[in-house]
Amino acid sequence: MIPYPFIKPSDDFFEPNQRLKIKKHFDVSKVSKILIRGIDPLGDIAIASAFYRETRRLFPQAYIAVMVSPHAAQFLKHCPYIDEVIIFEKKQQWQHIQQLKQQQFDLALLQTGNLRAALMAYLAGIPNRVGFDSDGRGFLLTVQLSCELQNRYRGEDQFDLLRAIGLNPQGVFKREVWLTEEEEGLAAEQWQQLGVSVEQEILAFNPFARVQNRRWSGQNWQKLLRSVLKKGIFPVMFVGPNETEEGKQLLKAWDLSQLPIVETHLMTTAAMLKRVKWVVGTDSGFIHLALAVNKPHVIAIYGLLPVNSSFPIYDKHHRGLIADHLPCAPCYLYKASDQCFNESKCMKEVTAQQVEQAMDSLG
């Protein structure tokens, strides 16, 4: 640990003179209670599993609490690296502030980049607040990082929170998921109900995406699923809450109504994915959950952010596909309201044949 009063960024911190402003020094070795304001989308929190592991390794004696949304809390329920999961409810912000103040945290690591998170940490009296200066919140931070770097793996930005205070996290690509025997048992029951034999090769897929621009074309899904069926591979559609009916409509439109649809608890889904050989989908929470399970071969179809922003491209166990020959790819249409003036051509030009070729290469 770096002794007080100096904090020297770790050697892995990129451009500390350009991207880092330390307004207040503190003794990192004396930190005893840490609040992590986590990122709520499933994909981001799966990526963050490495961050939680490394925070525990670097602060072995500290009390570590993570504040996240109810959905993200499902993923962290059995995380061995944290002592408490605080479920954030927007309507209870003042109660949360009072709770944090009573717990007397001495360090806040703000993964999420919104103003509310920094303001809550400030009002709760947490003396050391480390985070990015996005959303106009830089004045509330004591260790202020600027510019999350888009063209690199998102987990590196999370690790920068630790690097900024002199620590050296390792294994940014090593995701984890924490399952109980009960969840494993429920997964086995689900597979049994589907009548899947031990020898059956399974392809798990999810055709949805948080933003419409990230969806793969129905024509490509139809071609891929019909082709794998001919090869004796069993496709299963996994869906999230409120996606079942639309999933049935899609299968009907593709003339594949015989395929099963599974909607279950998040962690039961993770346990079920340990049984499958391939996972196919767009850049979504489903894909990132599968990468955390680290059992199936994952094939992800990208059209927006660069593949290396969220996919472990160095892992030969998986494939990230993108039509990067297009002049507009990758693009940055984050929001559902963003309009693509190229008719989402990127999501049409990654073909079913390319996905099949990726499956063949992975064996």
Tokens of 332: 């940055």
Contact (Cβ atoms closer than 8 angstroms) between residue 31 and residue 106: yes
CA distance 53 to 315: 20
The pLDDT value given to residue 169: 97
Q: What does DSSP say about strands 129-132 and 234-238: parallel, antiparallel, or unpaired?
A: unpaired
Tokens of 186: 């429920």
Per the CATH hierarchy, to which homologous superfamily does domain 181-362 belong?
A: Glycogen Phosphorylase B; (3.40.50.2000)
Domain ranges within the chain, ordered by starting residue: 16-163, 181-362
CA distance 114 to 132: 9
Same topology for domains 16-163 and 181-362, yes or no? yes
Using one digit for the tens of pLDDT, what is the confidence trace for 147-157? 878 778 999 99
Asked if residue 356 has pLDDT above 80, the reply is yes
Comparing CA positions, the residue from 124, 153, 118, 168 lying closest to residue 13 is 168
Alpha-carbon torsion 10, 14, 17, 20, what sign? negative
Q: What average pLDDT does range 76-83 have in this prediction?
A: 97
Q: What average pLDDT does range 239-266 have in this prediction?
A: 95
Using one digit for the tens of pLDDT, what is the confidence trace for 279-312? 999 999 999 999 999 899 999 999 878 899 999 9
Q: Identify which has the larger pLDDT, 299 or 338.
A: 299
Prior bond of 330 cis (ω within 30°) = yes
CA distance 276 to 222: 20
CA distance 301 to 215: 9
Per-residue pLDDT band at 336 (split at 50, 70, 90): low
- State the CATH class of domain 16-163: alpha beta
- At residue 60, the 3 state secondary structure works out as coil
Per-residue pLDDT band at 313 (split at 50, 70, 90): confident
The dihedral region occupied by 166, where left means phi > 0, alpha psi between -120 and 50, and beta the remainder, is left
CA distance 155 to 311: 10
Q: What average pLDDT does range 153-175 have in this prediction?
A: 96
- Tell me the sheet residues that pair with 65: 35, 84
Tell me whether residue 145 is exposed, middle or buried, using C-beta atoms within 10 angstroms of its C-beta: 0 to 12, 13 to 18, 19 or more.
Answer: buried
Using one digit for the tens of pLDDT, what is the confidence trace for 263-274? 999 999 999 999
Comparing CA positions, the residue from 81, 271, 266 lying closest to residue 184 is 271
- CA count, 13 A, side-chain hemisphere, 160: 24
Tell how far CA 276 is from the center of its chain: 20
The pLDDT value given to residue 361: 93
DSSP states along 215-281:
PPPHHHHHHHHHHHHHTT-EEEEE--TT-HHHHHHHHHHTT-TTS-EE---HHHHHHHHTT-SEEEE
DSSP annotation of 86: E
The pLDDT value given to residue 213: 72
